[in-house]
Amino acid sequence: MIDIALNGSQQVVNASNSPEVIEELTKTIETYRELMVASDIGAWEYFTETGFLNCNEEYFLLLGRSINEFDDSGKGNLNETWTNLLHPEDREMAATRFEEYVNNPTDKIYESFFRMAHANGNWVWIWSRGRYVNSRQGNNSKRIIGTHTDVTASKKVEEQLQLEKILLRTLIDNLPDAIYIKDAAGRKIVANIADVANIGAQSEADVIGKTDLELFNNEIGLRGYQDDLNVIEAGKAIVNKEELFFDKAGNKHWLLTSKVPVRNEMGQVERILGIGHNITERKKSEEALNKLNEELNLQSEELRRQAQDLKLANAQLISQKEQELEKAIAQGKFEIASEVLHDIGNALVGFGSYLNRINRVMDRYNVDTIKSLALFIKSQQSALERAIGADKANALVSLTDSIYKSQAENKGEISTAVTELLNILSHIQDILSIQRQFVKGHGGSHDRKMVNLVNIIDDCKAMLLASADKKGIQLKIAIAPGEYVLKGDHTKLMQVILNVLKNSIEAIDLEKDEKTIEINLSNANGFFELRMADNGKGFDAETGNKFFKRGFTTKESGTGLGLYNCKSIIDSHDGSFQIQSDGPGLGAVTAIKLPCNSVAIQAAS
């Protein structure tokens, strides 16, 4: 029998063989010993009967220790040379595993991983392997030999990879996008939480190993499976493909899908990495935007049609006015001229009401909202490009900007038409003023009818109430007891009161907490006195002196004929017309006096 020692301090061989055999065996043993030293592998030998663990020098060098620090007398030293050096967390597991192998001799290899204490205070990961040594006759020699290998570096790499794997999985499971990996047959091997939810499954285990054909038994599954085969066979990625699908409840969803081929070292596609970004909300926004565009186009067309109708009505009105006035002048008949003036006055009142309606429509037509939408989308162009791609982002910006410009152009055209109509009205009023002077010179003032100022005020209130309410202005009316009937032109007097009240509404600052217009009608000293007071902008004395000059106006779009014509109308009724203010910001008071007589009152009663 030959005894082989693991270190040079013990006898190498002890046998009765020939010197040549002994020399050859000794060389072989030395060769194995040097190989173990060169490979930094520690060797150990355990004798199960004595409990003695015999170790070579490299065994201890792995731990930064010297073989001379340990007893090699052959006595039981397992605790000193191994057990006591184990990490507390690994000790029980490692000891139990070694003991099980010692107590159950087999031909199998003993293998275990554990940490051992290094002399510098660190812990070294050891890969321990060994097996029982049998005699030539196949009997158990009650001796186990093995090796210790330092695997600290690989363990750290393994732990780092495991940590990174956990972090990566945590990341993809918490992303809102669906992320998945498929094998070369299109079967899913990884599916994050979002992907599982999109499929409508309960867990990842329900989808692993299945193709899209198995997960969606319809055209959606067929489409997805064919895309997978195309990526695998052609090796080309599918990027940002919009896909429609329905969930278990039948709700429609949209995904922006990308599928990328993953190649092995041979260049063959063996995996598919897929990402699905949910763009359902974006598609809903696009649909809402398209619907809004259609509605705006319809409104624009309606407003354009109304503008054309207004132009036509205006042309017809002017034509009618010119024809009737020419006829009246040609015939030289006062009765015809008077009737024409009365009809035109009534038409102007109705026309003014129609313009108010158009202005209310324009007030609701808020182009600034569309402009804000266009500017917002343009400011978010970079984010939209990342989300939906540069082409679609540019298209969306261009679309909203085009809508804004189109609607702004339409509103500008209508506003221009309304301004033109207002100028035409002023022109007509100027013509009527001239005609009134002509009628007056022919005694037309003696043929006026009985009119009731209370009814005129009520009619004016009805026409302006909606506009005042919209701006938060209160109309307060106080009429003293009595009859307020006189001979006059109902249309013209109504025109005066409407003009004054409209001026008051426009003069009031909408930011004021209290916005009021007070109308007071009383009878004193043979005159009907109508007072209309507002808490608007007011004016200084210099401006007040210019109000009744022909062409003077404080409005950007005014004609300077409103107050001039109002005073002319009141003068034609032998009355007085005054406007006063205590200064800028202190409001204004308009006082109108009209003569009354008992004959008119008796005739009215």
Query: With the CA atoms of 569, 572, 573 and 579 taken in that order, what torsion angle do they form, in degrees rounded to the nearest 10?
Result: 50
Portion of the chain with pLDDT greater than 90, in percent: 27
- Alpha-carbon gap, residue 216 to 222, rounded angstroms: 8
Mean pLDDT of 182-207: 89
Q: What is the pLDDT of residue 434?
A: 47
| Average pLDDT of the chain to the nearest whole number | 81
Mean pLDDT of 432-447: 51
Token output for 157? 């790499």
Token output for 145? 């030999």
Q: What is the pLDDT of residue 237?
A: 92
- Say how many Å lie between the first and final Cα of the chain, rounded: 155
| Alpha helices (H) in 204-279, listed in sequence order | 212-215, 219-234
Mean pLDDT of 310-324: 81
Is residue 567 over pLDDT 90?
A: no
C-beta atoms surrounding 230 within 10 Å: 14
Q: What is the pLDDT of residue 11?
A: 44
Give the least confident one: 185-194, 257-266, 341-350, 461-470. Answer: 341-350
Dmax (CA) for the chain in angstroms is 168
Token output for 467? 């506009």
* Closest CA relative to residue 575, chosen from 451, 438, 460: 451
Token output for 422? 């207002």
330-389: pLDDT as tens digits: 555 555 555 566 667 656 666 666 666 676 666 666 677 778 877 888 888 888 788 888
Is residue 78 over pLDDT 90?
A: yes
Give the model's confidence band at 88: pLDDT under 50 very low, under 70 low, under 90 confident, else very high: very high
Angle, CA 10 vertex, CA 7 and CA 11 arms, to 5°: 120
More confident of the two residues 293 and 410: 293
Is residue 599 over pLDDT 50?
A: no
**Is-contact 44 55, C-beta < 8 A?**
yes
C-beta atoms surrounding 209 within 10 Å: 12
Is residue 397 over pLDDT 70?
A: yes
Token output for 394? 């540019």
- Name the β-bridge partners of 527: 524, 595
The dihedral of CA 374, 378, 380, 385: what is its sign?
positive
Q: What is the pLDDT of residue 3?
A: 43
Mean pLDDT of 497-501: 90
Mean pLDDT of 499-528: 89
98-110: pLDDT as tens digits: 999 999 887 789 9
**Is-contact 78 53, C-beta < 8 A?**
yes
More confident of the two residues 352 and 134: 134
Q: What is the pLDDT of residue 284?
A: 84
Mean pLDDT of 236-243: 89
Q: What is the pLDDT of residue 1?
A: 33
3-class DSSP state of 67: helix
Residue bearing tokens 């679609």: 392
Give the least confident one: 188-202, 213-227, 390-404. Answer: 390-404
Long-range CB contacts (< 8 A, 24+ apart) of 495-498?
Answer: 495/345, 495/348, 495/349, 495/429, 495/565, 495/566, 495/569, 496/566, 496/569, 496/570, 496/577, 496/592, 497/456, 497/457, 497/460, 497/530, 497/532, 498/349, 498/352, 498/460, 498/463, 498/464
Residue bearing tokens 């939480």: 193
- Alpha-carbon gap, residue 364 to 552, rounded angstroms: 31
- Alpha-carbon gap, residue 121 to 113, rounded angstroms: 19
* Closest CA relative to residue 336, chosen from 492, 447, 489, 488: 447
Task: State how far Cα 216 lies from the chain centre.
Answer: 31
425-438: pLDDT as tens digits: 655 665 565 455 54
Is residue 66 over pLDDT 90?
A: yes
Q: What is the pLDDT of residue 51?
A: 92
Q: DSSP secondary-structure letter at 86?
A: B
Give the least confident one: 21-25, 200-204, 368-372. Answer: 21-25
3-class DSSP state of 421: helix
Give the least confident one: 45-49, 151-155, 437-441. Answer: 437-441
Token output for 433? 């003023």
- Alpha-carbon gap, residue 553 to 222, rounded angstroms: 76
Buried b (16+ CB within 10 A) or exposed e, 130-162: bbbeeeeeeeeeebbbbbbebebeebeeeeeee
Is residue 12 over pLDDT 80?
A: no
Is residue 516 over pLDDT 70?
A: yes
Buried b (16+ CB within 10 A) or exposed e, 345-382: bebbbebbeeeeebeeeeeebebeebbebbeebeeeee
- Name the β-bridge partners of 516: 474
Token output for 66? 């010297």
Give the model's confidence band at 208: pLDDT under 50 very low, under 70 low, under 90 confident, else very high: very high
If you average pLDDT over each of 86-95, 406-415, 421-430, 528-537, which comes out highest?
Answer: 86-95
Q: Are strands 252-263 and 238-246 parallel, antiparallel or unpaired?
A: antiparallel
Is residue 424 over pLDDT 70?
A: no
**Is-contact 332 441, C-beta < 8 A?**
no
Give the model's confidence band at 521: pLDDT under 50 very low, under 70 low, under 90 confident, else very high: very high
3-class DSSP state of 512: coil
Q: Are strands 474-479 and 449-452 parallel, antiparallel or unpaired?
A: unpaired
Give the least confident one: 89-93, 212-216, 258-262, 330-334. Answer: 330-334
3-class DSSP state of 438: helix
pTM of the model: 0.36
